[in-house]
Amino acid sequence: MLRYRNILRLSQRRNYSSGATSGSPGGDKSGEDDLHPIRRTLRLLGNDMRKVKEFFVPKEKESEDDRIATQGKFQFAGERTRDPTAPDDFQTHCDVLIIGGGGVGSSIAYWLKEKARDGLNVMVVEKDDTYAHSATRVSVGGLCQQFSLPENIQMSLFAADFLRGAKEHFGQEVPLQFTPHGHLMLANDEHAESLMRSSQLQNELGARNEVLTADRLAARFPWLNVSGVALGCLGLEKEGWFNPLALLSNLRRSASGYGAHFLSGQVVGFEFKSQTDISVVGDAGANEGNYTGLEKAVIQLPDGTRRSCKFALCVIAAGASSGKVARLAKIGVGPGMLQVPLPIDERKRFMYALNSQAQSAPGMAMPMTIDPSGIFIRRDGLGGNYICGMDSYEEGNLHSFDQHIRSKLAERIPALGEAQVLDSWTGSYDQNVYDENGILGAHPYYHNLYLATGFSGHGVQQSLAVGRAISELIMDGQFRTIDLSRLSFDRLIVDQPMYELNNVLS
């Protein structure tokens, strides 16, 4: 398979001895010790063993006075000098720079710091730290395994297991409010066979759902009009919905508690560096011995000032802005394989809060229902409240409930035909216009760039597994738990799309 590879990825010069004698009283004595080869060797071995222990062994809580600063896993040549004009909380260097602090970016930071703690310096840049325009804001919080691709099913199953033990991971500070009433995916005649095949695969991989005929649907859900419905798939376990903002809050809080640094700002450019010690094969447009890599990100702070941050590794997890960030790195506008763009655009989602006091309206056991028309609706707490919405494939912001949704909703659930609209909101999420599936993993040209974006409307429930997967690639060099290699950027180069047949929302 055609793929970029850098031949000399690990030829970076690392200065492991810098600061090794900082604890010695007086500078002259350490110099005298270095004159004796045995003492010098024992000192270096002792320092190396201490670093290995600090990297892998979790430390007990220490006071600020007792804490010993550890070196990062990735080292930079030269001294780490602070820019005197930069804000106090701005870091001019980091091991891993994550662009985007939404659900996916915060999850990556959480898993990296959960594994490495003090052994890795992680910085997250988020341009909207209020998340007013984040895709999380228009998420319905769905947790569902009704996908057609094994990778998506496995990621959702992992999310279900993680959320089941959320108190062990996060404590009880921000409850996730998980509601375990499943999803009901409705299909017409055209998609009935695909629904049955997908259900079989889902159950083989550990999900639990059942396919119901139109008659059985009508008997089980009296509020549902089954006209035009051939089959429905109902999740029985590990499905439902949760509070997506609570999950984001927990991920960010926990990552910060482990030492991740969150910065309010926007990446507006990159600085590049020619690296003659790295060669690229498989790219006719690459000149041998003339590799140019990413070295720094230019970050614009809220006050308009711009600062540069040097990184060892960078992850683009910027949601709907990921395509724009990639172009700053010359992806899609560069020579050779850099001509292949990151195919991420914005897609609008329109959400409505409804209330109905109709006696025949769906009750407590209502599953999240996805209609073949694209409308989705679920119960929202008590008192006859519901959350309803749909995705828009059209450009522009003009959208209204009465114009686009009410008639279709009334046809499927007649009791909600006269529901009152209490509130409405809109937002964007990252849409992969190539095959509507996530793109994650290492970029095939840049040896220090990873991608985690393009999840096309189901990123919130996949964020937990994606964060763990990217952390495995960074820490272990490979996927350890779920093999997501088919979702890499490489499929764009060889034109092998990974189509997801089911429109599962999160």
Q: What is the CATH number of the domain that holds 469?
A: 3.50.50.60
Pairing of strands 306-316, 449-453: parallel
pLDDT value at position 132? 80
Percent of the chain with pLDDT over 70: 79
User: How does pLDDT run across 378-414, given as a tens digit for each residue?
Assistant: 999 888 999 999 887 665 455 688 988 999 999 999 9
Confidence check: pLDDT of 62 > 80? no
Q: Could you tell me which residues come within 8 angstroms of residue 247 by beta carbon, excluding any fewer than 6 positions away?
A: 103, 141, 163, 176, 460, 463
Instruction: Answer whether residue 19 is part of any domain.
Output: no
Same domain, residue pair 301 and 339: yes
DSSP-derived secondary structure letter, 176: -
Structure tokens belonging to residue 103: 């659900």
User: How does pLDDT run across 160-192, given as a tens digit for each residue?
Assistant: 999 999 988 898 778 899 999 999 999 999 999
State the residue range of the domain holding 479.
Answer: 93-134+247-343+434-493
DSSP assignment of 308-346, as one string? Answer: EEEEEEEEE--GGGHHHHHHHTTTTTSSGGGGS---EEE
Instruction: Answer whether residue 337 is part of any domain.
Output: yes
Instruction: Answer whether residue 100 is part of any domain.
Output: yes
Q: Residue 383 burial by CB count (10 A; 0-12/13-18/19+): exposed, middle or buried?
A: exposed
Confidence check: pLDDT of 158 > 80? yes
Instruction: Answer whether residue 6 is part of any domain.
Output: no
101 close to 124: Cβ distance less than 8 angstroms: yes
Same domain, residue pair 445 and 425: no
Same domain, residue pair 394 and 321: no
pTM: 0.82
**Of 401, 429, 457, at which residue does a domain stop?**
429
Same domain, residue pair 425 and 365: yes
Q: Minimal CA–CA distance to 239: which of 217, 213, 215, 206?
A: 206
Q: Minimal CA–CA distance to 145: which of 462, 374, 486?
A: 462
Structure tokens belonging to residue 424: 């409405």
Q: Is 202 helix (H, G, I), strand (E, B) or coil?
A: helix
Same domain, residue pair 337 and 263: yes
Secondary structure E strands in 58-177:
93-99, 122-126, 142-143
**Of 394, 429, 464, at which residue does a domain stop?**
429
Instruction: Answer whether residue 4 is part of any domain.
Output: no
Same domain, residue pair 395 and 467: no
Dist CA 377 CA 387 (whole Å): 6
**Of 375, 398, 429, at which residue does a domain stop?**
429
User: How does pLDDT run across 259-287, given as a tens digit for each residue?
Assistant: 999 999 999 999 999 988 777 776 655 55
Same domain, residue pair 292 and 331: yes
Instruction: Answer whether residue 198 is part of any domain.
Output: yes
CB atoms within 10 A of CB 132: 9
Same domain, residue pair 201 and 114: no
Instruction: Answer whether residue 1 is part of any domain.
Output: no
Dist CA 431 CA 429 (whole Å): 6
Same domain, residue pair 307 and 339: yes
User: How does pLDDT run across 435-470, given as a tens digit for each residue?
Assistant: 999 999 999 999 999 999 999 988 899 999 999 999
User: How does pLDDT run across 114-131, given as a tens digit for each residue?
Assistant: 998 888 999 999 999 888
Dist CA 167 CA 178 (whole Å): 12
Q: What is the CATH number of the domain that holds 386?
A: 3.30.9.10
Instruction: Answer whether residue 123 is part of any domain.
Output: yes
Same domain, residue pair 260 and 308: yes
Same domain, residue pair 461 and 381: no
Quick one: how far is CA 3 from the chain centroid? 24
First to last CA, the chain: 33
Total domains, the chain: 2
Same domain, residue pair 257 and 333: yes
